Structure 1
Amino acid sequence: EEGPSPRACRLPPRLAWCSIDWDRLRLLHPLGAGGFGSVYKAIYCGATVAIKQVKKCNKNRLASRQSFWAELNVAHLHHNNVVRVIAASTRAPSTQDTLGTIIMEYVGDSTLHHVIYGTDCIAAERKDDELPHGPVFLTIAQAVSYSRDIVAGLVFLHSQLIVHLDLKPANIFITEQNVCKIGDFGCSQKLEDAVSSGPQFCQQGGTYTHRAPELLKGERITPKADIYSFAITLWQIVTQKEPYLGDRQ
């Protein structure tokens, strides 16, 4: 694998601690792809990790750049219910058309969406067979446990003045220990001290089915937006149905 492009810019000083040691990174295989990039399983400094490479989007370069920097809102945070960022770089291997690279803790490829709707073959790979095969109703204990994990993660994020703004089952990962971790912070925003700055407004995308009405109307961002998204997610956990039906969001 070739080294990072020498012409790429560096992380700002406040994020220098999490710069990538490229010599200790080895990609294994793809885990998936989304609107802003691809995710790979990899080995970094001897540990299994997930690598997210944010692609350069010719149609919306600003959005892809905002997504990359938004992911780093949690770069300095540690919590049991939040996916941890280990390292990052605005550089990328020269063979990759990427805007930047983010190394995160590996939490597996199981999400709450998989568990709720029985999609993918996640349960077949679990030795303890804790997760359900197919769309069977979760037990009350499972629903409460998942909900408590999500709430704990949100309380922590909000205490750090971070709002997720895209909370949904597909962005909540479930570890082999059956613990929920909130991930995918590409739409997140850091709320500044209200004393030193005015109201903040949402400028990025998200999932409309889980988006708070005030954000759809272009109103100011508050942690209440995540509470609305959690309520929709909780409804999905309990009913195991999609919140809205139709050909378009």
Structure 2
Amino acid sequence: MPSPLPISRILHLDFSPPMKPKACSSPLVFPAKCEKLLLGEGSSSRARRLPSRLSWCSIDWDQLCLLHPLGSGGFGSVYKATYRGATVAVKQVKKCSKNRLASRQSFWAELNVACLNHQNVVRVIAASTCAPPSQDSMGTIIMEYAGNSTLHHIIYGTKCVETKGKSDGLEYSHANLNLVQCLSYSCAIVSGLVFLHSHLIVHLDLKPANIFITEQNVCKIGDFGCSQKLENAAFSSPQLCQQGGTYTHRAPELLKGEKVTLKADIYSFAITLWQMVTQQEPYLGERQYVLYSVVAYNLRPSLTATIFRGSAMGQRLETIIGSCWTADVAKRPTAELLCLNLQDLSTEV
């Protein structure tokens, strides 16, 4: 990897490191200091090599310039930036002193989509684990800029627009979401899932807030910090569920700590589709009550809304949602079948 980011390009000079870090001797090898950022204190000083599938990981730091923050989450902050003349989004993953392991897992999970390219998936451009200690960052990921408006903003009547001069950099305006748009967005999201699942990648945190809507009105699935790369597509996959994700959208088998399958994303999509159609929150009760009820009593959001009862199309939509969030994993449709069902339904609107 190249030398770490010249931090003075993006932060006040007071944050500059006291000495110039050494460059990596090979684009596939971490120096000892960078290894500690990834593996934590007490690790062997011997350099570790990147997995072959991530050998592309390299950032031209001289071409990167952060502009302003876009938001922050549990494991890091996202900035709007320019990289090699193009507008990008930059995610810096915090060391997260309370849970360093989770922070490292989040960083590497984001790179599950490295080298993949699909119109409905936020693309990773470059990444590096080298970062000055003053950044409190264990890694940097450069992604395509998909805007700062999400499906969550669209569903609940707000559209997020960047504006300069505001403390949060955002302005909100009303937006409507009709059935035609719901089906259009749904087809785009599931198209992204078909692509991800074909590469055995399960997102594990699919929800409106993680689906970006570009200025061209294109849906892009983002935030892969909870994702996993499955070893095989069989439903008996040995990989167990990791903690994380959003409990309202998390499949019941994952809440019980059972094995991860691609069908977990299908369940999450069903909750998301229900939100698009009803423009309501899925659950309003206490978190622990919801978790227990989803697992023990098959609690799901209500399907009694008029839109599900007023027409044959509404009833078909109800059937699709119900099949996607059934507790029986084997009975949930695959992303491919779901995509076909939604496309058929959208032609009737």
Give TM-score scaled by structure 2 length. Answer: 0.65
Residues 159 and 173, structure 2, Cα contact 8 Å, conserved in 1: no
Q: How does 1:102-181 map to 2 (within 5 A)?
A: 102-119=141-158, 121-122=160-161, 133-134=173-174, 136=176, 138-181=177-220
Candidates 221, 245, 261, aligned match of 1:206: 245
The answer to whether structure 1 residue 65 and structure 2 residue 104 are counterparts is yes
- Deviation for aligned residue 1:91: 1.1
The unaligned stretches of length 5 or more in structure 1 are 126-131
- Deviation for aligned residue 1:18: 2.8
Cross-structure match for 1:22: 61
Is the deviation greater in 4-13 or in 207-216?
A: 4-13
Residues 38 and 53, structure 1, Cα contact 8 Å, conserved in 2: yes
- Deviation for aligned residue 1:93: 3.6
The answer to whether structure 1 residue 86 and structure 2 residue 125 are counterparts is yes
Paired residues, what number?
241
Counterparts of 2:162 and 2:7 in 1: how far apart (Å)? 36
Residues 90 and 141, structure 2, Cα contact 8 Å, conserved in 1: yes
Bigger relative CO (Cα 8 Å, ≥ 6 apart): 1
Candidates 52, 76, 79, aligned match of 1:40: 79
Residues 57 and 64, structure 1, Cα contact 8 Å, conserved in 2: yes
Residues 89 and 102, structure 1, Cα contact 8 Å, conserved in 2: yes
The unaligned stretches of length 5 or more in structure 2 are 1-5, 9-19, 23-32, 36-48, 165-171, 289-349
Highest Rg: 1 or 2? Answer: 2
Cross-structure match for 2:93: 54
Counterparts of 2:105 and 2:150 in 1: how far apart (Å)? 24
Candidates 267, 274, 285, aligned match of 1:235: 274
Give TM-score scaled by structure 1 length. Answer: 0.90
Cα RMSD between the aligned structures?
A: 2.3
Flag the structure with higher helix content.
2
| Identical columns (%) | 76
The answer to whether structure 1 residue 2 and structure 2 residue 35 are counterparts is no
> In the superposition, relative to structure 1, how do residues 57 and 94 fare at CA in structure 2: closer, same or farther (>3 Å)?
closer
